[in-house]
Amino acid sequence: MNNRKLTNEIAKYLAGECSSPDIERISGLLQADEAYKQAFTELKSIWEIPGVLPVTDDYNTNIAWEKVSARTSGQQVHIAHKPERQSAFLPWLRYASIAAVLVLSLSIFFVYRPYVSMKTVASGPSGISPVALSDGSLISLNHDSKLKFTEKFGNHSREVYFWGEAFFEIAPDPSRPFVIETGDTRIKVVGTSFNVRNSAGGEIIEVVVNTGKVLFYRVDKNDRTVDQVMLVKGDKGIYNSKSHTLSRMVNDDVNYNSWKSGVLVFNETSLDKVLQTVGRKYNVTFHLADTKLENLKLTATFDNESLDSVLEVLRLIHKLQFSHKGTDYLVVKTAG
């Protein structure tokens, strides 16, 4: 979107002239597009400066441009205005003057405050993608995950956008909270480590805390907090987007971070849960030919073993056979 079109859109929004679909679209952009949000915030601050937006019916646009230019350079300009007169055209004139001021303001914004570039890192179907941020934080992306962030964080906060699964190790900085936006939820910390998993479609979002404290909360379409839970080490937070429920519980999944650590631990674990965990780690899917196989148990530890090695152990212990097409595995019980 070019500068003038963006300015006119924001001016209409601030003047209350947008249609309902436009309001909803702009609200979405304010949540998802950091550059749009920054431009909006900058122009809104100009809108709210007393005296910048006169409402007389003979308003001079050139004077408005001169006044805004003076504000950005720190100079004081005294401008004489004619007495105000009531007019049926005041709302239109106010909007026109606002648009004129914001057009100039947006030009100044992009000249002296360059467009904030967003960087996107996406992981492939296999392997882990580590991402080092400018503040010293380290994020490990599991397969099929994506992270969007600015090359350099601001002075008051550190914000990123995330989809998929990742392990976050956030560098401490109390003056700049770290906020992760994923679906309808936000995760806010100042320095800690935790695992985040956003299932396909964002129906279930899970946060498991490894160290420190994490504020896990959900927001409405206007980005207002409507529910929140504080999580500490060993806690799991779960958000269900269908029921819009946010809950906290003790994490009992010792393998929540196995995709990163490489270590799998099973203690009398049922085969269906074993295969679910193995599948999550190696990005494959298992299908049991007989539901009775779910009752088989496994006690074992695997330390950075290959998928073939893990399946070989299962084959020997429970006399199973694995056949596959691509990443889909069929599990059957062999005779004997």
pLDDT in tens, 31-73: 767 777 777 887 776 666 554 443 333 344 454 445 445 544 4
Greatest mean pLDDT among 45-54, 144-153, 208-217 lies in 208-217
Longest dimension (CA), the chain: 101
Residues 125 and 149 in one domain: yes
pLDDT over 90 (residue 214): yes
| Distance of alpha carbon 57 from alpha carbon 325, whole angstroms | 74
Phi and psi, residue 320, nearest 5°? -110, 160
Domain end marker among 250, 284, 307: 250
Q: Pick the residue with more confidence: 118 or 286?
A: 286
Report the pLDDT averaged over residues 76-98.
49
Average per-residue pLDDT in the chain?
A: 81
47-58 residues labelled b (16+ CB within 10 A) or e (exposed): beeeebbbebbe
Q: What is the pLDDT of residue 267?
A: 96
User: Given phi > 0 = left and psi -120 to 50 = alpha, else beta, which region is 142?
Assistant: beta
Residues 211 and 236 in one domain: yes
Residues 239 and 145 in one domain: yes
3-state secondary structure of 192: coil
In the chain, the number of structural domains is 3
pLDDT band at 249; cut points 50, 70, 90: very high
Domain end marker among 214, 234, 250: 250
User: Where are the alpha helices (H) located in the chain, listed in sequence order?
Assistant: 3-14, 20-32, 34-47, 61-73, 90-112, 258-261, 271-282, 307-318
Domain end marker among 250, 273, 299: 250
Least confident of 2-11, 141-150, 159-168, 278-287: 2-11
Q: What is the pLDDT of residue 44?
A: 74
Domain that holds residue 201: 118-250
Report the pLDDT averaged over residues 219-244.
92
Residues 127 and 242 in one domain: yes
Report the pLDDT averaged over residues 253-257.
94
Residues 209 and 274 in one domain: no
What global pTM score does this model have? 0.65
pLDDT over 60 (residue 239): yes
pLDDT over 80 (residue 92): no
